[in-house]
Amino acid sequence: MRSMQIINWGKPLELREMETPIPKGSEVLIQVEACGVCHSDLHIRSGFFDLGKGEKFPIEERGVFTPFTMGHEPVGTVVATGQSSDEGIIGKSFTIYPWISCDKCEPCLNGYTQVCDSPNIIGTRVDGAYSDYVIVPDKKYLFDYSGINMDLACTLACSGLTTFSALRKIQPEFLGSQDCVLIIGAGGLGLTAICLLKSMSKARIIVSDISGEHRRIAKDLGANYCIDPGDSNSIENLQAYAHHNNGKGIAATLDLVGLPETMKFGLSNLRKGGHHVHVGLFGGAHTISLPPLAFRMIKISGSYVGSLREFKELIDLIKSGIKLPIPITQRPLKEASFALDDLEAGNVIGRIVLKP
């Protein structure tokens, strides 16, 4: 099989040929038809996450070493199964839940399988789908996506699931038309969040993004109000919008960027009792004044991808007719490195999907 691999951290990926794996036990071998490119792949390629204040978290401390194949948003057809799997699924195409967990540790037993202590996540811990084949450990991670466009089905496993799970945390069904939700960042995650939130809530949607093009698309997808956080009067305008027509201010913020600046922006704009959900992995560190956290009764949560059950719920929601018209660009697998470069340079609208 052919894989685009990280050979040296921080360097362009290289095309390598190797033996196609043979599935054992409950495993299934998937012939990859498409694989989404994710912003977190940029961090993996670089070899570290930025913890701020000069501190880095090296990927190798997770036990991940080069050569490594990324790709955690695959869709593909089952071409072989292990002895204890189900031969009946051979020839069928599925979207794949990549956040593989041990199902035995404390987080797993508490339902937080996505933060398992011993995970085998496809494309971030074990070799992924920047390849023409990938192994999935069990058929329970395969989901039928009939009725959903294949390229969109890829992105559901990460950007779709991440935003869905983050939105669930703010309980959008209890928000009304006088409540506002501020979405920070209108990349692939932000655009997905707008579409999902519209179907889950009556809340007004405000989007903050430094890119005029991203704001324009956010507006097209249904954001009620968009602001450029770089404008000197952005906070004033944001609060004026959030309070006009008996508006009750910003009930929740979704930080899909994850920089110190975006966290500060989100927290300072929340109303009392509001909920800030931190999702983006750009990195850095932010200092918080402590008394206002109590005085304003602010809630801060972290949210990381989503559970297997949430993935099923999300797919059912999309199958029920929720539209996610996120711009998706197809690129050949061998252009994976260029695709990552474009993403890093901020030149990507929506998502990229690689085709082997």
> 250 pairs with which residues across the strands?
180, 270
| Residue 102 lies near Zn ion (rule: CB under 5 A) | yes
Rounded to whole angstroms, the Cα distance separating 160 from 153 reads 9
Stretch that binds Zn ion, among 33-41, 45-53, 222-230, 267-275 (CB under 5 A): 33-41
Among 116, 152, 189, 277, binds Zn ion (CB under 5 A): 116
Residue 226 interacting with Zn ion (CB under 5 A): no
In 3D space, the residue among 157, 118, 141 whose CA is nearest the CA of residue 40 turns out to be 157
Beta carbon of residue 212, minimum distance to Zn ion (angstroms, whole number): 25
Given the complex with Zn ion, which of 38 and 324 has the nearer CB atom? 38
The answer to the question of residue 281 lying near Zn ion (CB under 5 A) is no
User: What part of residues 36-55 is at the interface with Zn ion (CB under 5 A)?
Assistant: 38, 40
> Is 353 one of the binding residues for Zn ion (CB under 5 A)?
no
Give the nearest distance from C-beta 325 to Zn ion in angstroms.
Answer: 20
Residues that bind Zn ion (rule: CB under 5 A) add up to a total of: 8
Task: For strands 93-96 and 299-302, give the pairing.
Answer: unpaired
- Is residue 223 at the binding interface for Zn ion, with CB under 5 A as the rule? no
**Nearer of residues 18 and 126 to Zn ion, judged by Cβ:** 126
Could you say whether residue 279 binds Zn ion (CB under 5 A)? Answer: no
Single residue of 37, 64, 108, 324 touching Zn ion by CB under 5 A: 108
- Beta-bridge partner residues of 48: 58
- In the complex with Zn ion, the residue whose CB is nearer, 38 or 336, is 38
Q: Least separation, in Å, of the C-beta of 40 and Zn ion?
A: 5
**Start-to-end Cα distance in the chain:** 10
CB of 141 to Zn ion, least distance (A): 14
CB of 96 to Zn ion, least distance (A): 13
Tell me which DSSP letter residue 159 carries. I
- Do 80 and 90 contact (CB within 8 A), yes or no? yes
Say whether residue 114 binds Zn ion (CB under 5 A): no
Token digits of residue 344: 């890093």
Q: Does 122 bind Zn ion (CB under 5 A)?
A: no
Contact window for Zn ion (CB under 5 A) among 88-96, 110-118, 328-336, 347-355: 110-118
- Tokens, residue 240: 């004026």
Instruction: By CB under 5 A, tell whether 354 contacts Zn ion.
Output: no
| DSSP string for residues in 224-292 | SEEE-TTSTTHHHHHHHHHHGGG---EEEEEESS--HHHHHHHHHHEEEEEEEEE-----------HHH
Q: Is 342 helix (H, G, I), strand (E, B) or coil?
A: helix
SS (H, E, C) 43-69: HHHHCEEEEECCEEEEHHHHCCCCCEE
Asked whether position 85 contacts Zn ion by CB under 5 A, the answer is no
To 10 degrees, the CA torsion angle through 24, 8, 354, 49? 90
Task: Measure the CA–CA gap between 229 and 92, rounded to whole angstroms.
Answer: 46
Position 195 contacts Zn ion (CB under 5 A)? no
**String marking each residue 134-173 x if it binds Zn ion according to CB under 5 A:** ------------------------x---------------
CB of 36 to Zn ion, least distance (A): 7
Asked if 105 touches Zn ion (CB under 5 A), the answer is: yes
* The length of the chain, given as a count of residues: 356
Question: Which residues contact Zn ion by CB under 5 A?
Answer: 38, 40, 101-102, 105, 108, 116, 158
